[in-house]
Amino acid sequence: MTTDLKSYRVLVTPTSYARHDPTLRTTLEAAVGEVVYNERGVPFGAEDLLSLLPGFDGYIAGLDTISRAVIEAADRLKVIARYGVGVDRVDLEAARARGIVVTNTPGANTVSVAELTVGLMLSLARMIPTANRATKAGEWPRLSGLSIEGKVIGLLGLGAIGSAVAARLRGFDCAIIGYDPAATEAEAAAHGVALKSRAVVIAQADFLTLHVPVLPETAGMVDAAFIDQMKPGAYLINTARGELIDEAALLAALESGKLCGAALDTFQKEPPGADHPLFRLPQVIATPHTGAHSDGAINAMGRMALHDCLAVLRGKTPKHRVV
C-alpha cells in the first residue's frame, strides 16, 4: 500500500533542481502536499534555515549549512536528501541523534566535474580566457601557451572523479600520476595512472588537480608548506572543495611566481565576492562552483535525491543512505 504523503511538506533549495527535466518538479509536487523552492538563488546559511526549516518533513538540500542547531530546530524533518555527493556541510552526528536520514547522490556529477577539470586545465595551458579578453578588446597578442602533451598531470584522489579525469586525459599523450591511499596499483593502471606517493605527485606534477573530500586531515592541506613542495611554475586546479586550500598561501605563491596559475571552481566562502584578492590576478581562472552544473549531472542528481527523499517519507529504505 502506498503511503499518503499529502500532509507532508518538502523544502528544495538547489536552484538547478529540475532545470532540464520539469518532471522532477511535477513528480514531487504530485506526491506531497506542498513543495517550497529556493527563490533567492544562493545557498542558505544556518541562520536562514533556523527559521525556514521547521514545519518541513523532507529536505532536498543544496550547498546549505545544516548545523546542529538547524537540525535540532527542524521539528518534523525525516530526511535530508543531499543534491550532490558532499555531506561536509551537514552535521551528521546531530542528524543521527535525531533519527533524520541523510542521503546523497554519489556518481551523479562524476563526468560533469571531470569534464570541467580537463576544460580548466586546457584553459590554463593555452591562456584561453586571456586570449578571449584581448581579442575582443581589439588586440592580437602572440601568446605562448603550453601543450598538455608530454607534461606530468598529478591527481590527488583517484575516486570516481579523479579516475574519470584520468580516462579523459589518456588521449593527450601526457604522463598521469596519482595518489590515493585506497587505490591499488592495478586499479590506478586500469585508468592509465601510475600510482605514486603523495610527495612524488606533488613534486613532479606540471598540473596538479585535487579530487579529495574535506576531512580533518585534508582541510587546508594546500598551505605554504604544501605549495613549497610543488614544481616551480606548476598549475593548480581545484574542482573539489574550497576548504582544501589556504587561499592566502595560494595568493602568495602566485604573486611570487612559484606557481604560474590556478583554476578554482570552489572557494572557502561562496560566493567569494568581487573583491576576493585572488581575482586581481590574470593567471587565476575562477568559476562559480559549476562542476556539477551540466544537464546530465543536474538530471541525475535530481532523480537520485527525489527518489531517496520520497522513499524515506514512505517509510522505505533509500538507495544512497549516508546516516
User: What are 197-238's pLDDT values in tens digits?
Assistant: 999 999 999 999 999 999 999 999 999 999 999 999 999 999
Fold match between 5-108+294-313 and 110-286?
yes
| The listed CATH number (3.40.50.720, 1.10.150.20, 1.10.3720.10, 3.40.50.300) that belongs to domain 110-286 | 3.40.50.720
The predicted-structure confidence for 227-255, as pLDDT tens digits, reads as follows 999 999 999 999 999 999 999 999 999 99
Q: Which CATH class is domain 5-108+294-313?
A: alpha beta
Catalytically annotated residue among 29, 72, 185, 270: 270
Catalytically annotated residue among 241, 293, 307, 320: 241
Parallel/antiparallel/unpaired status of strands 152-156 and 259-264: unpaired
Q: Which residues of 83-110 are buried (b: 16+ CB within 10 A; e: fewer)?
A: bbbbbebbbbebbeeeebbbbbbbbbbb
How many C-beta neighbours within 10 Å does residue 256 have?
10
For the record, the C-alpha cell of 153 comes out as 598531470
Catalytic annotation on 276? no
Residue with cell 592566502: 248
Q: What is the dihedral of CA 136, 142, 147, 148, to 10 degrees?
A: -30
Instruction: Give this prediction's pTM.
Output: 0.84
The structural domains of the chain, with segments of one domain joined by +, span 5-108+294-313, 110-286
pLDDT average, residue stretch 133-154: 97
Based on C-alpha coordinates, what's the Rg of the chain? 21
Catalytically annotated residue among 289, 293, 307, 320: 289
Residues 6+ apart with CB under 8 A from 89: 63, 64, 65, 66
Q: Nearest to residue 308, comparing CAs of 51, 28, 89, 62? A: 28
CA 148 remoteness from chain centre? 24
Catalytic annotation on 241? yes
